[in-house]
Amino acid sequence: MRAGFTLPQLGPAAGPEAVVTVAQRAEALGYVSLWVTERLLWPLAPQSPFPATPDGALPEVYRRALDPLETLTFVAAHTRRIALGTSVLNMPYYNPVVLARRLTTLDVLSGGRLRVGLGLGWSKDEYDATGASFTKGRGRRADEFLQVLTAIWTTDPVEFEGEFFHLPRSIIGIKPVQQPHPPIYLGQWIPAGLQRAAKYADGWHPIAGLPPMQEIPRMMGELKRLAQAAGRDPAAMAVILRAHITITPQPLGEGRGAFTGSLDEITRDVETVRAWGIDELAIDPTYSPDGQTADGFLRTMELMRPLV
């Protein structure tokens, strides 16, 4: 099982010096990937509860957020080997033709290190701010979005005519370094999302706890079954699990959240997901006390590296 690490892109630690320091240390330690997330707003009266907290409250770290793609482009210039991933970009906020150009540029400038994590988002406030529909046609639009990305990356001239997107027959001559295209991972866990990943993506990118941890092995099996039914190689479907890490001085015992607690307790979680066949664990301390400073990120990075 490989290990990736999240950059300090959200919250008080977010800034150029911290991003470069963490990125370069992760590369030196042998982490295989760096990840950024997407947060557009911290609404004062949110319409949608945050799905990962018991009361739905938004994390304070969302008050400060660097743009994910600009952050990765900056990091690409300060690293040489480590992969650069989005965890995740929300498709409803983007036009796929424009996003394809930005992603292609990042893959070219980084020498073929891009990984593309995509999702649908959950914040109605962000949907409203970007002019996206929160209720109508999200799934169909996502299907088309993925088809447009793939068409742009793999054909020239390219042409697409769909319900949501129209691309006239055109030359788009800059292609990604990675062929046939950078790997795509979907972060959805509902049945339609797994079906979409099996049909259009290269793998699945869930968050530990969303869905519930005990559901992940079953859903991994369902993903492979759906991929085979779609005529694709189920063994080629990668699973990259994002883990929100909180290391505590003392054990938390029964009822603790996944990847929270003492280092021994978190070690047991790591061994559990390794036994499930997870391909990569993307470690994210953003929501922990260590996630408030660059030094805290580095501490978590050093402690977790021997485990994965």
Q: Please tell me whether residue 246 adopts helix, strand or coil conformation.
A: strand
Q: How confident is the model at residue 245 (pLDDT cuts 50, 70, 90)?
A: very high
DSSP character string of 190-235 = SHHHHHHHHHH-SEE--BTTBS-GGGHHHHHHHHHHHHHHTTS-GG
Do the Cβ atoms of 151 and 200 come closer than 8 Å?
no
Do the Cβ atoms of 246 and 289 come closer than 8 Å?
yes
Mean pLDDT (whole number) for 179-195: 94
Q: What is the CATH number of the domain that holds 186?
A: 3.20.20.30
**Which position has the token pair 């409203």?**
128
**How far apart, in whole angstroms, are the C-alpha atoms of residue 184 and residue 117?**
6
Q: How confident is the model over 128-167, as pLDDT tens digits?
A: 999 999 988 999 999 999 999 999 999 999 999 999 999 9
Let me know the angle formed at the C-alpha of 147 by 146 and 149, rounded to the nearest 5 degrees: 65
**pTM (2 decimals)?**
0.96
Q: Count other C-beta atoms under 10 Å from residue 253's C-beta.
A: 9
Residue 52 pLDDT more than 90? no
Look at the chain and report how many structural domains it folds into: 1
| Domain span including residue 62 | 2-307
Q: How confident is the model over 224-235, as pLDDT tens digits?
A: 999 999 999 999
